[in-house]
Amino acid sequence: MKFGSSGVRGLASELVGRPSGLYTEGFARRLRATGFPQGAVFVGRDLRDSSPAIARDCMAALAASGFQPVDCGPIPTPALAFYARRHGAAALMVTGSHIPADRNGIKFYGPHGEIDKADEAAITSCVAELSDRYPWPPAPADWQTGHEQALAAFRDRVGGILAPGALSGMRLGVYQHSTVAAELLVEVLRSFGSDVTPVGKSEIFVPVDTEAVGQDTIAKMKGWVREFELDAVLSADADADRPLVIDENGELFRGDLIGLATALFLKADIVVTPVTSNSGISGAFGFKVVRTKVGSPFVIAGMEAAQQAGGIVIGFEANGGVLLGSDCFLNGKTLSALPTRDSFLPILAVLGTVASTGKSLSSLRESWNLPVCASERLENFPVEASRGLMRRLADRDALRQFLAPFGSVADVDETDGLRARMASGEIIHLRPSGNAPEFRFYAEAASHDRATEIVAMALERARDTALADEPEAV
């Protein structure tokens, strides 16, 4: 197990029990070291099978460490983070987000929001120090519940993002699968006047990666759009911090475009986003763009630095999760800052833009005239194979040889992975996942077909290169 782009993750079988208690103890010690008095810590979880047991382990560890765990049950991560922030309390979310069902993770929040890289390092150090002597299991303990209260607070927050009846006349589908937001998203969209059809509910956990949506999922979306004559299909990943938006043709409305729509909706002054987001948003829409490494801690750090300039600051990632760094004034109400990924604000911002402009989602996308992006991943790709491939491609001659089928390399950005801009203007980005045995590929080109072709070719070349190096890498 290790910290990745958001929280600590690993195999669920290796997290249940003592390990989850050990990481929670590391978190508790970090809270005390940074001046947070022993008090309430709100605990939520997603719907994967291992999450209830891990949440109980975490709450038992918190109680043993002198804190008061509050069980918020299955709840969207942004709802849990908002509720904790409003109470000046810490929080802990048990979720593996978009990764497969046999894996899980824990996200940690201090009283001011999501923990940073320094906090992660301190927790990791504590885990290493206590690994051989952490007592388990702790004595039995009781804890309070806060599920309904936390949901009610979040429902009130999102209820002010759009004007009453703002989505009247829209026909929307909600792909429920196994996201913890399944019922709440339907409720919220209906509250603004839209006609909502829930689809695809699953009792078996379905890992949905909003940054790499599979063709089987897209085929389902196209079928639902046709069957129910929908203007859009909306969804989120397991813990609902990443939105999924599908247009009226059943095509993916990519996460960085969702972020762009939200920035325009909120009239942002500064946008902080990872280097993987569409390059075309920089300098074209009236706001300043700051680029970071992939991962919410990096985006949050960028937002904190940007706030010194004043104005409205938001962050978003290519997976669509939007982080609000400043209070905003909407419909006569203040929408308070929430510097953690949220799926509800961007979904409502996109739909509100469509409703107010009269444009379809596809025509909204076309009006921006941006490069077309595509992304894909090699799953079950060992970490050592990823490291071996990146070591090889760090050599510029090797990288140019690897990319030769795509043309000549103009420049390379090493902010996070290797992002090559070709002489043609096309972009090919190679990046190992920060928290799963996956290798990710991103491309930008003039058309969807070309961007998809580039990603597919790069994926095959990476697989072939890794296989050739397998005895050395593994």
Active site residues: 97
- How far apart are alpha carbons 213 and 232 in whole angstroms? 16
What percent helix, strand, coil does the chain show, rounded to 5?
40, 25, 35
Burial (CB < 10 A; 0-12, 13-18, 19+), residue 66, is exposed
Question: Could you write out the DSSP letters of every residue in 68-120?
Answer: EEEEEEE--HHHHHHHHHHTT-EEEEE--TTS-TTEEEEEEEETTEE--HHHH
Q: Which amino acid is at 241?
A: D
Mapping DSSP to helix (H, G, I), strand (E, B) and coil, where does residue 443 land? strand
Integer Cα distance of 18 and 402 in angstroms: 44
Q: Among candidates 168, 165, 174, which has minimal Cα distance to 246?
A: 174
Torsion of CA 360, 258, 208, 220, to 10 degrees: 10
Quote the CA–CA distance of 474 and 458 in Å, as a whole number.
Answer: 21
Say what the alpha-carbon torsion angle 248, 254, 255, 258 is, to the nearest 10 degrees: -50
- Identify residue 471 by its one-letter amino acid code: P
Separation between Cα atoms, residue 374 and residue 26, nearest integer Å: 39
Bridge partners, residue 232, by sequence: 172
d(CA 247, CA 184) in angstroms, rounded, equals: 21
Q: Computed over its alpha carbons, how large is the radius of gyration of the chain?
A: 22
Nearest to 100 by CA among 435, 445, 469: 435
- Name residue 445's amino acid: A
CA 220/CA 222 separation, integer angstroms: 5
**13: DSSP letter:** G
- In whole angstroms, give the CA distance from residue 265 to residue 335: 13
Residues 350 and 339 sit within 8 Å (Cβ to Cβ): no
